Amino acid sequence: MAKPLSEQLSELSVRAKEAEDHVTAARKEARDKVTARREQSRAAAEAAIKKVDQDIQSAADTVADKWNAMRRKIATDLDDLKANIAEHKHDRSVRWAENRADRLEWEAGLAINYAMASIEQAELAVFDAIIGRVEVEQARSG
Residue 83: inside a domain: yes
Q: How confident is the model at residue 114 (pLDDT cuts 50, 70, 90)?
A: confident
Residue 31: inside a domain: no
Q: How many domains does the chain contain in total?
A: 1
> Which structural domain range is residue 74 located in?
1-23+53-127
Residue 123: inside a domain: yes
User: Which of 29-38, 66-75, 92-101 comes out lowest in average pLDDT?
Assistant: 66-75
Residue 57: inside a domain: yes
Closest of 135, 138, 121, 126 to residue 44, by C-alpha: 121
- Cα separation, 48 vs 125, in Å, equals 15
Residue 137: inside a domain: no
Residue 108: inside a domain: yes
Q: Is residue 45 within 8 Å of 113, Cβ to Cβ?
A: no
Residue 96: inside a domain: yes
List CB contacts of 101: < 8 A, sequence separation 6 or more.
none
Three-state DSSP at 9 gives helix
The residue type found at 16 is A
Q: Is residue 134 within 8 Å of 30, Cβ to Cβ?
A: no
Whole-prediction pTM value?
0.47
Q: How confident is the model at residue 77 (pLDDT cuts 50, 70, 90)?
A: low
**How high does pLDDT run on average in the chain?**
82
Residue 84: inside a domain: yes
